[in-house]
Amino acid sequence: MRLFVSLWLLLSIALFAQEAKKGPNPFENPKNLKLLQPANARQAMQAFRAALGVQCVYCHVQGDFASDDNPKKNVARMMITMARQINMNFPDGKQHVTCFTCHRGAEEPLIEAPATAEAPKEAPK
């Protein structure tokens, strides 16, 4: 039984080492953050992806997260600044508005209610 446990331990260490070799963690040494804190970057990226319903390469050049060559990345920076300004203008200064508040899983937020939305029923007379 003890042998089995140590074998299992060795195997999991080996698997872990292999996992770590897959490539450098892009969030470990960010080179081009102008607005976000390195500690929050990973969480922010997951939130962006979900808020717009896109993959990472929607804003990033494949294989180079630090590059600014994808123009969507700078649009996203402007959006970060805009969302911060909106939040600062709330009476309590708390964060009420996020990317998701407007985007709701879409690249381009809707400005008007969709045509299929049901009109309010007329009040009975």
* Site residues (vs ligand HEC, CB under 6 A): 26-27, 30-36, 41, 45-46, 48-49, 52, 54, 56, 58-60, 65-66, 72-73, 75-77, 79-80, 83, 97, 99, 101-103, 107-109
Report which residue type is found at 35: L
Pairwise CA distance, residues 35 & 49, whole Å = 17
Beta carbon of residue 21, minimum distance to ligand HEC (angstroms, whole number): 19
Cβ closer to ligand HEC: 8 or 100?
A: 100
Beta carbon of residue 58, minimum distance to ligand HEC (angstroms, whole number): 5
Write b or e for each residue in 14-24: b if 16 or more Cβ atoms lie within 10 A of its Cβ, otherwise e. eeeeeeeeeee
Cβ closer to ligand HEC: 7 or 78?
A: 78
Beta carbon of residue 24, minimum distance to ligand HEC (angstroms, whole number): 10
Residue 31, judged by CB atoms within 10 A of its CB (0-12, 13-18, 19+), counts as exposed
The single residue listed with the structure tokens 């992806």 is: 49
